[in-house]
Amino acid sequence: MRFTWATATHVGLVRSGNEDSVRPFDDGSTEEAVVVAVADGMGGAVAGEVASRVAIEAAMAEGADAEISPADRVRAGNDAVLSAIGEDYTLSGMGTTLTLGLFDPSGFLHVAHIGDSRLYVLRNEELQQVTTDHTLVAELVALGQITEEQAETHPRRHLVTRVIGTDTITVDELEIAIEPGDRILLCSDGLTTMLRDPDVADLLRAATSASDAAWSLVEAANAAGGTDNTTVAVVDVSP
Ligand code: MG
């Protein structure tokens, strides 16, 4: 099994800085395990940028060593953000999402996440969101108190209920079997607040490569308004 990935990030058309982080930096391809991650930072001044970078760097430590589970990587990201705040009080209150996938060539994708950066799988032309947003509106939808349509315009739709940078975190862990032909997407909410899932699916289906997919998604988010930073990672699974 081979993994071919591409990542893309853009500040968008409204924000002055890019608080998202993504790894790997460079596009590539391997028959070995690979870790791919997206983080969306928040906090005053440059703190959001610091939070996403510190968390993702800690989570990526030790490369793709499969002995370190994705959940442990996310917890390492949380510890690193808390340490950074401990060393510099001007960073207090900073936080970040973190969604991380460990692609295992034996045919599994191990996922851990905190926050509303999503992971989707496109398989047989069908797009499925694998992660559950840790947001107020996602919780209200799950409880049946509002509809998905109401969630899209809810005044507090950006409120994230779990975030890296807090004393105790509960990490969601998932494992899915992957197959040749799968195209996996990790993204910050800059993509999913600008584009609906059917449009994301169309772009993923139409793209001729992971790189083409990544950049066409970013361009589409900007064409739709680009109100937030947009970051995507696309991983193609081949035999
Ligand atoms: Mg965002």
Between the CA of 159 and the centroid of ligand 1 the distance, in Å, is 11
- What pLDDT score does 24 carry? 96
How many angstroms separate the CA atoms of 131 and 118, rounded? Answer: 6
Confidence of residue 52 (pLDDT cuts 50, 70, 90): very high
Between the CA of 221 and the centroid of ligand 1 the distance, in Å, is 12
Mean pLDDT is lowest, of 55-64, 108-117, 222-231, for 55-64
Reported as a single tens digit per residue, the pLDDT across 63-118 is: 888 789 999 999 999 999 999 999 999 999 999 999 999 999 999 999 999 999 99
- What pLDDT score does 205 carry? 98
Between the CA of 86 and the centroid of ligand 1 the distance, in Å, is 25
> Can you say whether the dihedral through the CA atoms of 133, 118, 179, 22 is positive or negative?
negative
Q: Crossing angle of helices 197-206/210-223, nearest 10°?
A: 140
Between the CA of 31 and the centroid of ligand 1 the distance, in Å, is 31
Between the CA of 43 and the centroid of ligand 1 the distance, in Å, is 12
Confidence of residue 62 (pLDDT cuts 50, 70, 90): confident
- What pLDDT score does 46 carry? 77
- Asked if 188 contacts 113 with a C-beta cutoff of 8 angstroms, the reply is no
Strands (E), the chain: 2-10, 20-23, 28-30, 34-42, 95-96, 98-104, 108-114, 118-123, 126-129, 172-177, 183-187, 230-238
How many angstroms separate the CA atoms of 66 and 89, rounded? Answer: 34
List CB-based neighbours of ion ligand 1 within 5 Å. Answer: 40, 188-190, 228
Is the overall model pTM greater than 0.85, yes or no? yes
Between the CA of 228 and the centroid of ligand 1 the distance, in Å, is 6
Mean pLDDT is lowest, of 21-35, 106-120, 146-160, for 146-160
pLDDT above 90: residue 195? yes
Q: Is CATH 3.40.50.2000 the classification given to domain 2-238?
A: no
